[in-house]
Amino acid sequence: MEVVLIILLLVGSGYLLKIFNILKEEDRRVLNNIVIHLTMPATIFLTILKNAHKEEILYFLKLPLALFLSNLFVGLLAYKIGKALKLKRESLGGLILVSMLGNTGFLGYPVVIEMFGNEGLLRAIFCDMGGVFATMLLGTYIGAKFGVNRGNILKELIKFPPLITGVLSIILVYLNFSLSYLPNFIVKYLNYISSATVPLIMLSLGLSLDFSYLRFGVKYGLIASIFRFFISPLFSLIIAYLLNIDGLEREVLLVESSMPSAMMCLVLGTLYMLDVKLIASSIFITTVLSLLVIAFWSFIFS
């Protein structure tokens, strides 16, 4: 329960800053840029270098594979449900995105840190790699197939700093690189920068909350919630069993696979001209309801 209270306070702070016009909703873009290009790469680099060991890397790589496969199966099932509901092309694409892609980085990291500490965060970083690849490959495919605009976000995602940092950090672990090789002031600098990641993410999330999205309807937000909070972790549990993933790795995978719809869905929806109203309302509804899911996992894994 403490995890939920901490998240509520942090997110609530961001929302109150917006309500009192101290910050504006568009300011979250600045915060997001700071997180994506500076603080999150520092967090990923330090976490992998401090906690990962060469002999564990291959086992940890099962996590992004499991999350990617889970996203794929969720996307296929969401497509079937959307077709059965006879949704328009752009609405079908939007429903698939919000059902398939979870907020494994921007919300997953803070939640996992509070539940499992740095050992859990290490595993969350590997899970998030699967989420990034799902966004790059599956999200781009859905956008191009169901959208009006045929633009391409793939090139931008390939340059995504957290993904690049994660891959380079894994390579450094394989090369037996140690943080002790760096000057002490560099390590301290990275620690200071890294400590800002979670607060900035939560403030940004608070700024993004907008109850006006509810006017677009809650039906598809509830459908997306079923996919994100029930079907996605169920698929992940099955895949974890098949890939022999257990212990802390399985627990983090379950938490990460049940995160609410990713903010990137809105980016993809806007770029490819999908049903942005459906996407926005689904992100809002799944994000609010995720507090109940986080409380559940916190109770289960406490």
pLDDT at 150: 57
Sign for the pseudo-dihedral over CA of 278, 107, 205, 200: negative
Distances (CA, A) of 5 to 108, 116, 118, 183, 217: 16, 16, 20, 38, 28
Percent of the chain topping pLDDT 70: 96
Tell me if 253 sits within 8 A of 245, measured CB to CB.
Answer: yes
How many whole angstroms separate alpha carbon 197 and alpha carbon 47? 13
Per-residue confidence (pLDDT) for residue 149, from 0 to 100: 62
Query: If pLDDT is split at 50, 70 and 90, which confidence band does 66 have?
Result: very high
Is the pLDDT at 137 greater than 90? The verdict is no
What is the average per-residue pLDDT within 224-243? 98
| 285 close to 221: Cβ distance less than 8 angstroms | yes
Instruction: Determine the pLDDT at residue 151.
Output: 56
Could you tell me the two tokens for 243? 């890939």
DSSP, collapsed to helix, strand or coil, labels residue 238 as: helix
What pLDDT was estimated at residue 121? 96
Half-sphere CA count of 270, side-chain side, radius 13 A: 5
Tell me the per-residue pLDDT of 50-60, one tens digit each, with 9 for 90 and over.
999 999 999 99
* DSSP bridge pairs for 78: none
* 213 pLDDT tier (thresholds 50, 70, 90): confident
Q: Which domains does the chain have, with CATH numbers?
A: 2-209+216-294 (1.20.1530.20)
Q: In this model, does residue 93 exceed pLDDT 90? A: yes
Return the bridge partners of 261, or none. Answer: 102
Mean pLDDT across 89-102: 96
**What is residue 296's predicted lDDT score, i.e. its pLDDT?**
95
Are 267 and 139 in contact, with CB atoms under 8 Å apart? no
Contact 268, 97 (CB under 8 A): yes
pLDDT tens-digit map of 146-189:
987 655 555 656 677 888 999 999 999 999 999 999 999 999 99
Range 285-295 average pLDDT: 94
Confidence of residue 106 (pLDDT cuts 50, 70, 90): confident
Which phi-psi region, left, alpha or beta, contains residue 24 (left: φ > 0; alpha: ψ -120 to 50)? beta
242: Cα within 13 Å, side-chain hemisphere: 11
83 or 271: which leads in pLDDT: 83
Give me 278's structure tokens.
Answer: 């459906």
What share of the chain has pLDDT > 90, as a percent? 73
Secondary structure (DSSP) of 82-139: HHHTT--HHHHHHHHHHHH-B-TTTTHHHHHHHHHHHHHHHHHHHHHHHHHHIIIIII
